[in-house]
Amino acid sequence: MSGGESIDHHLLKLELAHAARAAGFHAEYEVAAPDRSWRADVMATSTDGTQRVALEAQLSLITPEDIQHRTNRYEQDGVGICWFGLRPRPWVGSVPSILLNPDRDKDVWSVSAGIALMTQLDPDSSFQQWVPVEEVTLTDAVAWILTGRMKAYKPQSLAKSVLDRQSRQWPSSWVGPNSDRWDVWWTTSSHIETDIRQHNDYLERVHITMLRAESPMQAFRARTKIEEISALEELILKEFNNNATRSLSDFHIRPDPNYADGLAFYGYHWDGFGTMRDMKPLVVVCPDILDHRGRYWENSVPVAFPAAYRDRLKNIKNVWLFDLEERTIWSIEPKKSVTSAALASWKSVTPVDSSSPETRE
């Protein structure tokens, strides 16, 4: 306990060294830089000497500015760093940090804050939020850091908080009266990719919103990635033509906010009286509904999506799929003839005849 260390500081250094060795790394105490610009409580070094990570037990008071300066010193020398504390402080979360909860009775140190993952808190929303990872031991946390399973990450998307699943507030173990947020926490590569993808999706939506004000058709192309509008028009004309719509010139085509910004193909319909015709949508292509609540289509107008969207259309009725490369369009639920519908109804109420050829293998 040299240097006036507290008992907690000394014990935490021992635990950090044990955890580093358990992960297959060498661990040394009080390792200093050649120029004395930093001094690590525990320096974990890989067996081949190519990787060094400083494990710092930070139990005394320090300002966020000072700890950021010390972190920068380590990073400038190519040394990884994680700061370990026992309670929320103003510096916690401004640098790669983990808070611990020592269980004296069980002689086990567990993580109370600092590791998070992304998930959908609202099952009806595609937006994902950060939530805490619980029941992780110090030994596991150090191993995940040293082996690269976890990385320190500053979120990019609009999800910049870690929320308790129940209260939807910062978990009480993460924050205190002098600390109400974290900027950096530990997570895995897959959750980092999810956050980056969510951020890019948001930027794309902003871009499309700006495009929509300038050119609705350009916004439609940007959102759907459909460039061959002429080929799409030919498919729609071929399939949805009727006695009132005879040529492409009889179509009125536009992205329509009344149909979730889908490309609405308006065509003439007979109204049932004499020769009068009424212009109504025959089909709407790619309405912006797949990321909305419930993914339902409340209109009676048929909708059409590229074939690749098929697995995302389970809750939508009257759906058509198209393949522009193959120049084909088809209904997910093909129309049944009167004969086939009657036969299906008859089979549903007729006992199965074991002697029938249809029941034999």
- For residue 55, what are the domain limits? 2-199
Residue 215 lies in a domain: no
Specify the higher pLDDT residue, 335 or 361: 335
pLDDT at 294 over 60: no
Q: Is residue 140 part of a domain?
A: yes
Assigned domain for 336 exists = no
pLDDT (0 to 100) of residue 130: 97
Using pLDDT thresholds of 50, 70 and 90, give the confidence band for residue 192: very high
What is the model's pLDDT at position 146? 97
Looking only at the bridges linking them, the beta strands covering 303-306 and 319-323 are: parallel
CB atoms under 10 Å from CB of 268, counted, come to 19
Strand partners, 55: 42, 82
Determine the 3-state secondary structure of 270 from DSSP. strand
19 and 142 part of one domain: yes
Residue with tokens 């109504």: 280
Of 98, 31, 20, nearest to 58 by C-alpha is 98
> Is the CB of residue 238 less than 8 Å from the CB of residue 251?
no
Q: What is the per-residue DSSP string for 195-239?
A: HHHHHHHHHHHHHHHHHHHH-HHHHHHHHH----HHHHHHHHHHH
Q: Are residues 231 and 312 located together in one domain of the fold?
A: yes
**pLDDT average, residue stretch 284-311:** 82
Kindly state whether residues 97 and 243 are assigned to the same domain. Answer: no
87 with 172, same domain: the answer is: yes
Indicate whether 146 and 262 sit together in one domain: no
- In terms of Cβ atoms closer than 10 Å to its own Cβ (0-12, 13-18, 19+), residue 123 is exposed
Residues 50 and 174 in one domain: yes
93 and 176, same domain (yes or no): yes
Report pLDDT for 291. Answer: 67
Q: Name 305's bridge partners.
A: 321
Average pLDDT, integer, range 252-263 = 91
Residue 105 and residue 179 share a domain: yes
* 25-39, 131-145, 190-204, 343-357: the lowest-pLDDT one: 343-357
Whether residues 51 and 170 share a domain: the answer is: yes
Largest CA distance in the chain: 102
CA distance 150 to 183: 16
List the one residue out of 33, 30, 38, 31 whose CA is nearest residue 3.
Answer: 30
Confidence grade of residue 152 (pLDDT, cut at 50, 70, 90): very high
Asked if the structure places residue 357 within a domain, the reply is: no
Beta strands in 123-202 (DSSP E): 129-132, 151-153, 185-187
Residue 349 in domain: no
End-to-end CA distance of the chain: give it in Å, rounded. 82
- Residue 269 binned pLDDT confidence (cut-offs 50, 70, 90): low
* Total-model pTM: 0.74
Same domain, 148 and 251: no
* Residue 348 domain-assigned (yes or no): no
* Total structural domains within the chain: 2
Please tell me whether residues 21 and 127 are part of one structural domain.
yes
Q: Closest by alpha carbon to 219, among 233, 228, 206, 231?
A: 206
Whether residues 159 and 291 share a domain: the answer is no
Q: State which amino acid sits at residue 195.
A: D
Query: Which one, of 198, 193, 134, lies nearest residue 165 by Cα?
Result: 134
- How far is Cα 58 from Cα 19, in angstroms, rounded to an integer? 17
Side-by-side strand order, sheet with 26-32: 26-32, 39-45, 52-57, 80-85, 97-103, 108-113
Would 300 be classed as within a structural domain?
yes
Within-domain flag for 184: yes
- 112 confidence band (pLDDT: 50, 70, 90): very high
Q: What is the mean pLDDT of residues 138-166?
A: 96
